[in-house]
Chain A
Amino acid sequence: MLPLRLGAGDNTGISAESHARLSADLLATHRTSPAMTLVVLADAVAGTVQVLSYESRLSRGVKQAPKVAIESGDLRVYLNTAANDYAEVIDLMPLLVSGAAIMCQYRDVSGVWHPATTAFATADATLTFDIPAATTSVFVIELYGADGLTSLGAYGAHERKKDSKKEGKATYAWLWFQYFSSALGSAYDTRPGTVVTWGNAAKARAFGTSQRISEMLAASATPDGSDAKLDMWSAVLGVPQAGRTRAELRADCEELGRFPETPTHAFLAAGISRILGREGTLVSITSDKGTIAAPPTGTYGPGFETGDPDYDMGEGVWASPRGHLIITVQPRYGLTLADMLNKVNRPLAFFLDRVIRATSTWEVVSA
């Protein structure tokens, strides 16, 4: 929560609409802006070359520049990893060179600019420029490339982003701040920046945050709205975190987390196997009452399962019989009991609780 968003109006708050515009424009700009700008002084007489300036998305300064040299009468810029010593260059360039656009011109000793004649070898990511003989030239090289590093989600925006249904545009913290400020009365210092306003703001933020916890828990019940529980979702759904941004992790979890209304044996088996990974093997899924898809005859579920209404105890509680699934797994040989319980009681239970219908209970047993 931005502290400036503590306010409710345009002067002290940032709306979701404004943040979305900022994020979308930043993404558009990132896509097409130069990835690298290199200025090189090439002396064809002495056969020497000097990098005058270097800027890239990940680094700047001549010490970070890719290797440049005059070889066989040509100016060469090496964008491949093997020719360079610096991590920044190595990280950046292989992503860029496959389809990169190169702009290059040079200025001769009389100050006239010319388009440079270039050869671009993709295989070893080397740019080769013809340099005028017996003179000194300044080359300006721009490289445009897609690094694939950025998405709208990286900025916290999303096509389906919206204001909180409960909190709306005026934050709880703002409302609490109004309340505390007015409740203290005129005997207290009302000037900004005093200990009284700091105290009010601190309390308002604490109260506002606690009020949002229930919403956070509800949002975490599905991967698409989850942030606090996203790590758990990635474990439950078997989506590795390595190599994914937070937004990519959420999107991939959302894709895998579209649970069917009525689970199938195949869906359950695939999910359980994914969570067990190398720690164990799914042996069987059996039921001693009902089936995976359907509860025993007579099971009542208010609003979703027609059965005997006499079992309705009110408030969503019912006393009719339920199905029961027995999930048998074979732990990996040598796996400690603690590790197995950690696997079963956390991600596996989290998964089963959400997939298996409320008309069925379940247990996990060791083969």
Chain B
Amino acid sequence: MIVPAGAPAWTRIAQASDYGVVPDLHNLGDFGAVNAKTDITAEEYARLATDCLAAVRGAPLFWLTFEVGAGPVANVRQCQPMWDSASGAYAGATPPSSSFPTIVWNSGASEFALTFPGLVVTVNTVRFIRALDPFSVVGDCAMATPTIHTANAVSAATCRLVDGAELRIAGALTGALISLVVR
């Protein structure tokens, strides 16, 4: 098994060199494709890798949708993080694996708390999320700039970050369908 170069996408520290695009990348002997219909040149590969790099920098960390039932309880319809395939529906308190967040109601604060219990790591009191890529390479990240959208409800939900590993969602939300995108 190989260990890929660089760190996973969600660390946002990827360099073109991680993808094999070094400043002096060139076609051997400086001649291009023998057959343009079947071959890929160094220039084309560099464009592919650079565009991937641009997409990686701007892609969300995860998105999810959940419905708020009486209680209130959160029932996740689907969650798609960068580090795993999309989930199916699950109860917010019991995600199918550590790749997906828990969403539980905090009655004292009257808000939902969203965390990744199986992925949260604390170093020097700072909490962040640590996930593995398909090759078991470790990558750390922190939640940032959440955007939220409320459907099927009268009032809109609001959300705030507690830190890089926890997010809170508030509002009179029973019956609402919440969409959340976190970068």
Contacts and interface: CB of A to CB of B under 8 A. Distances in A.
Chain A complexes with chain B = yes
B63 to A, nearest CB: 4
Secondary structure call for the A interface: mixed
A245 interface: no
Secondary structure call for the B interface: loop
Given A17-B3, A28-B82, A28-B133, A115 B150 contact: yes
B26 A160 contact: no
B151 to A, nearest CB: 4
A24 B156 contact: no
Contacts of B3: 17
A364 B30 CA distance: 57
Interface stretch (A93-101, A287-295, A349-357): A93-101
Nearest to B131: A28
Contacts of A102: 65, 149, 151, 179
Interface residues of A, number: 60
Contact of B61 (A32, A118, A160): A32
B174 interface: no
Nearest to B183: A32
B14 to A, nearest CB: 6
- Among B19, B56, B154, B156, max chain A CB count under 10 A is at B19
A255 B64 CA distance: 32
B138 interface: no
Given A25-B52, A198-B31, A120 B20 contact: no
A6 B29 CA distance: 10
Contacts, number: 196
Contacts of A21: 4-6, 14, 18-19
Nearest to A119: B152
A15 B5 contact: yes
A146 B80 contact: yes
Contacts of B31: 192-193, 197-198, 201
A60 B8 CA distance: 29
Given A22-B18, A31-B82, A32-B59, 8 more contacts: A11-B24, A15-B20, A18-B4, A28-B59, A115-B156, A118-B152, A148-B86, A201-B29
Interface of A: 2-4, 6-7, 10-22, 24-29, 31-33, 98-104, 115-120, 142, 144-146, 148, 152, 159-163, 174, 177, 192-193, 197-198, 201-202, 205
Interface of B: 1-6, 8-10, 14, 18-20, 22, 24-34, 39-42, 45, 48-49, 52, 55-56, 59-65, 77-78, 80-83, 85-86, 89, 133-135, 137, 147, 149-152, 154, 156, 177, 179-181
